[in-house]
Amino acid sequence: MRYIFVLLFLISSLWAFNANIFNETVSNGKTVYIEFQKDSSLKYEYVLLDKSRYKIFQNPSDKTKMFALIPISYYAKPTQKKIEVIYKKNGANESKSMFIDIKDGNYEKETIIVNKSKVNPTDKKVQKRIAKEYNEAMKIYNHVENKSYINSKFIMPLESAITSDFGKARIYNNTLNGFHSGTDFRAKVGTPIMASNDGVVCLAKDRFYSGGTVIIDHGEGIYTCYFHMSGFNVKKGERVKKADIIGLSGNSGRVTGPHLHFAARVGGVQVDPLQLVSLLNKKLFKGTQ
């Protein structure tokens, strides 16, 4: 009888934890989606990848489910990674290991010719400005608002052709190596730019590299970014709705010509914005507009 009780306890413990990784194989620079089935005996705490913690949130369209987004760095190498889910069961600390396979995104390469002053600036004032802007942005990106501002699918910031995809390895003026951290849309100067979803404007200013910049906090560690703009219709701290005109496209900052650079961050990490939007629309807002 004792052995039967132990066996039943183990089976009940196994079934109590119900989590699935939507995309177990993922390229560098993409986002992983983990779905959790709610259970009254469990309290999900966070997800651990390497030394980074990611919070677990309520699915806005299905109250029986929760989710976590795990950003994979562009610089991550192909390997198998362990993801550890930390939770409480009947008040006791528990953990569950899951695994993902990171593959090489095989991103294309391109050479970009820009103004020399935008490649390796030597002016001390400019360097100080760049450092200040970087620290300001990272402070924003690393903040995770516990609530979500969104309740429907994301949209693109404008309807236009894509001229450069996320992840392309870039060589600036044959000297500086980097990668394309967003998706570029063709847009002549003055084209209206829409907010991709509801949120709060946490930055609206001109910056050295990204030019006219708007960053929107959508809550739960999700940010969208709009670069190289020529004018703003919003200011810091303003609430915006999906499709609101937040400003006009331009050719400010480090550019070869007018366009919109659309980017995204999850948990402070740069990720492919189109893959993130597609993932959220499929998993969080099925059947909604």
* Per-residue pLDDT tens digits for 146-158: 999 999 999 999 9
What is the sign, positive or negative, of the torsion defined by CA atoms of 151, 153, 158, 164?
Answer: positive
Place of tokens 């949120």: 199
Query: pLDDT by residue (tens digit) across 192-212?
Result: 999 999 999 999 999 999 999
Q: What is the pLDDT of residues 41-51, one digit of tens each?
A: 889 999 999 99
Select from 3.40.50.2000, 2.70.70.10, 2.40.110.10, 3.40.50.410 the CATH code of 109-283.
2.70.70.10
CB atoms within 10 A of CB 210: 25
Rounded CA separation 106/211 (Å): 29
Contacts of 44 (CB under 8 A, 6+ apart): 36, 56, 66, 85, 86, 87
pTM, 2 dp: 0.90
3-state helix, strand, coil in the chain (%, to 5): 15, 45, 40
Instruction: Report whether pLDDT(137) > 50.
Output: yes
Question: How far is residue 58's CA from residue 278's CA, in Å, rounded to a whole number?
Answer: 19
* The domain over range 2-103 is classified in CATH as 2.60.40.1930: yes
Domain limits, the chain: 2-103, 109-283
82: Cβ contacts below 8 Å, ≥ 6 apart = 49, 97, 98, 99
Confidence grade of residue 175 (pLDDT, cut at 50, 70, 90) = low
Per the DSSP assignment, residues forming a β-bridge with 51 are none
Q: Quote the DSSP letter at residue 188.
A: -
Query: Among the residues of the chain, which ranges form H helices?
Result: 2-16, 124-141, 273-283
Range list of β-strands (E), 104-238: 109-112, 162-164, 169-172, 176-179, 183-186, 192-194, 199-207, 211-219, 222-232
